[in-house]
Amino acid sequence: MNGIALAAKGDIVVVTLNYRLGSFGFLYVGNEEAPGNMGLYDQALALEWIQDNIRYFGGDPNKVTLSGSSAGAWCVSAHLLSPISQSLFKNVLMMGGAVLENVACETKQIGLRKAFAFAKAVGCETGDEKESFSDATMKCLRGANFESLIEAATRVSSESTNLFKLPFTPIYGDSFLPDSPLKMLETRRYKHNENIMIGTLPNEGVVSQLLMGVDLAASKESLIQSVRNYFKPDDINSSIIEDAIEFYFTGVEGVEAKVAFLSFFGDLEFHCPSIIFARHLSKSNTVFQYVFSYDAPSPFEFPSDHLSPCHGTDLPFFFGTFLSNSSDVEVSNEWIRLITDFVKGKTDMWPPYYVTKSDFVVPFYKDYRGANYTRSTKVGFRNIQCEFWKSALFDKF
């Protein structure tokens, strides 16, 4: 999106960047020909450029705030952990997601397995599948046309263990992410003593619903079967899925069953990874959490008004673009003010996460529903649901 309105209304310098995607940015073949995480290294190089040059545009290299939405939030959270890049910015804004293993990040072994499947799908001879690609295989891939690479990537999704079935994701166990994200959080190998803002929207699960092609008008039983069908045995133990189905779907019918379906995936893939990051980071950072609950227009059609606002509908308000009425403009103006106050160092907007002397975290958050909504400071967003996923799944990684 265009950053002109955000820069003008917030009186800040807005920098956007491009980076390599898909196989070009995240293919891992076991050697330096394609070492994985190239897209993240692209971003790190852009951050270095900003450090060297932002002063010429009126910016301060000591006050760089790194922000991203959705896959951008995965990237931002990876930079918070990475020894390569965490010194290249000060504060952070993560909107809609965080990088955790098996959510949006995989091992090098899985990356290599997918790389061999990718090469075969392109039509390249892989020979003995050892610990890295041969020069001949890489030469074949480099000679392939773009359309065949894209088609092959869609066929590799079946080899993925990440929850989004993405053919290519960041890998860990390299110099950029030396360990699994959760282990790095638990051992406090992340950026310290800064201000961090982490947010989501109520209906993040729409992403999975769209990727799965599930009809939300279907019956409760059909929705539950769609959940079962989505997971392979290698992804998550089937008993965990059955426990989660019982947790989310017991005692709900009609519209509430549709909400349960979306909440299942929204919590698993977006809310709970974000909250896990927030809880760990709050031990040595000032963490502000928010939920953007303003009833924004949705680009998707749902069988009920109860299912919005959904993933990504906050972006027009963040950038101040594509707004449809005066109420939306008012909300956008206030939201830009809140965000840019944070960027400029203000820390009294709403209570941050509070950590007691015994390391117990009190998760305050802002429930943002519009400029005139006064009861906005609350505690423990999706706390019960995320405790379920933490004990059932994330603690087992």
User: What's the pLDDT tens digit per position in 130-171?
Assistant: 777 888 999 999 999 999 999 999 888 877 888 888 999 999
Percent of the chain with pLDDT over 70: 94
Over residues 368-397, mean pLDDT: 86
pLDDT on residue 318: 95
Q: Which two tokens stand for residue 182?
A: 């959760």
Q: Catalytic residue positions?
A: 70
pLDDT on residue 233: 62
> How far is residue 132 from each of residues 124, 176, 219, measured CA to CA in Å?
14, 19, 47
Peptide bond into 178 cis (omega under 30): no
Over residues 329-337, mean pLDDT: 94
pLDDT on residue 87: 96
Q: How many residues belong to the chain?
A: 397
CATH number of 4-101+179-396: 3.40.50.1820
Per-residue pLDDT for 376 more than 90? Answer: no
pLDDT on residue 25: 97
3-state secondary structure of 149: helix
pLDDT on residue 146: 92
Confidence of residue 324 (pLDDT cuts 50, 70, 90): confident
Name which of 361, 221, 387, 180 is nearest 285 in CA terms: 361
> How far is residue 50 from each of residues 59, 64, 191, 201, 384, measured CA to CA in Å?
9, 8, 19, 30, 41
Amino acid at 342: F
pLDDT on residue 302: 57
pLDDT on residue 126: 77
From the number of C-beta atoms within 10 Å of its C-beta (0-12, 13-18, 19+), residue 341 rates as middle
For 291-294, the CB contacts below 8 A with 24+ separation are 291/199, 291/200, 291/201, 291/202, 291/365, 291/366, 291/367, 291/368, 291/381, 292/199, 292/200, 292/201, 292/317, 292/335, 292/368, 293/201, 293/202, 293/367, 293/368, 293/369, 294/331, 294/368, 294/369, 294/370
The pTM of the full predicted model, rounded to 2 decimals, is 0.94
Q: Are 216 and 255 in contact (CB under 8 A)?
A: no
Confidence of residue 269 (pLDDT cuts 50, 70, 90): very high
Q: Are 206 and 311 in contact (CB under 8 A)?
A: yes
C-alpha span between 325 and 338 (Å, rounded): 20
pLDDT on residue 192: 96
Q: Which of 109-118, 228-237, 346-355 has the lowest mean pLDDT?
A: 228-237
Per-residue pLDDT for 75 more than 80? Answer: yes
From the number of C-beta atoms within 10 Å of its C-beta (0-12, 13-18, 19+), residue 117 rates as buried
Torsion of CA 313, 298, 273, 176, to 10 degrees: -50
pLDDT on residue 132: 79
- The mean pLDDT value of the chain amounts to 91
Residue bearing tokens 């002063």: 55
Per-residue pLDDT for 372 more than 60? Answer: yes
pLDDT on residue 306: 55
User: What's the pLDDT tens digit per position in 166-199?
Assistant: 999 999 999 999 999 999 999 999 999 999 999 9
How do the domains of the chain map onto residue ranges? 4-101+179-396
C-alpha span between 237 and 45 (Å, rounded): 39
C-alpha span between 281 and 301 (Å, rounded): 36
Q: Which of 90-104, 201-215, 296-310 has the lowest mean pLDDT?
A: 296-310
3-state secondary structure of 393: coil
User: What's the pLDDT tens digit per position in 282-315?
Assistant: 999 999 999 999 987 666 665 545 566 888 889 9
- Identify the residue with better confidence: 395 or 271: 271
Percent of the chain with pLDDT over 90: 73
